[in-house]
Amino acid sequence: MIKRTVFFLSDQTGVTAETMGHSLLTQFDGVEFRQITVPFISSVDKAVEVVRKINLVGEMEGTKPIVFGTLIQPEVRDTMRTANAFFLDFFEPFLTPLEAELQVHSHHTAGRTHRMADTNEYVLRIDATNFALANDDGSLARDYDRADIIMIGVSRSGKTPTCLYMAMQYGVFAANYPLTEDDLESRNLPGNLEAYKKKLFGLTIQPERLQQIRNERRPNSRYSSAQQVAFEVRAAESLFERHAIPVIDATGSSVEEIASRILDRTDIERRL
């Protein structure tokens, strides 16, 4: 298998470089990537140090490292280009044409993507995250009036990470309610959800995948048995159909994909 070292370089957190770089790297099967993130490269001196590190890695491995950069300062970016590496810059190819089209010079200011520029947005993100955490297991059902969405499904079907992602990424107030065996046997909606039927959204998952997930949590238990898992998934899907609750199959989907599909099918506002 081909092995290559990849550097993600940024003048701030490195999140943008990682996200965009990973999207490209996933297109290449048969290559093993060793990934190194170097954030906060805010001066030419720091850039020179990183160039030395990249060159050293290249010498030791005998192949050029691949470098993804989101470096906004031209002098820092130019320094990085001196490295003996395959360098891909995510900003310069787009900023120059945009400046020409808009007839406005860009700020060339580091960190504008992820900085806390809007205090109200930051507070909203924290508030939505706290809401998701407070309404994570359905036992207390705190303040469902504030909820944009209430995700329901069997245990370990992906509700919690999806709610937290939607809160942190979009400022969505997302609660989740795990369906219990009593709920599933009754075939009726839990009493505290009846008044919020329009906010409900179901998550389902293929039994084989759910059993695998539960086995990692409680191996050789009734909770993770094939019979129990099959019953819960079948009963949950029947409940969704009976009460006309929209549902998606989360099997094999990332949290980002699940959240995006849910938002695409609802009129929930993205606040961030």
Q: Per-residue pLDDT tens for 42-73?
A: 999 999 999 999 999 999 999 999 999 999 89
Confidence of residue 115 (pLDDT cuts 50, 70, 90): low
Kindly state the tokens that stand for 149.
């969405």
Question: CA 60, 63, 68, 73: dihedral to nearest 10 degrees?
Answer: 70
Q: Per-residue pLDDT tens for 191-210?
A: 889 999 999 999 999 999 99
Confidence of residue 92 (pLDDT cuts 50, 70, 90): confident
Confidence of residue 143 (pLDDT cuts 50, 70, 90): confident
Residue 52 makes CB contacts below 8 A (sequence gap 6+) with none
Q: Identify the pLDDT of residue 108.
A: 60
- Parallel, antiparallel, or unpaired for β 149-153 and 200-204? parallel
- Inform me whether the pLDDT recorded for 105 exceeds 90: no
Return mean pLDDT, the chain: 92
Q: Identify the pLDDT of residue 141.
A: 66
- Inform me whether the pLDDT recorded for 117 exceeds 60: no
Kindly state the tokens that stand for 260.
């995006």
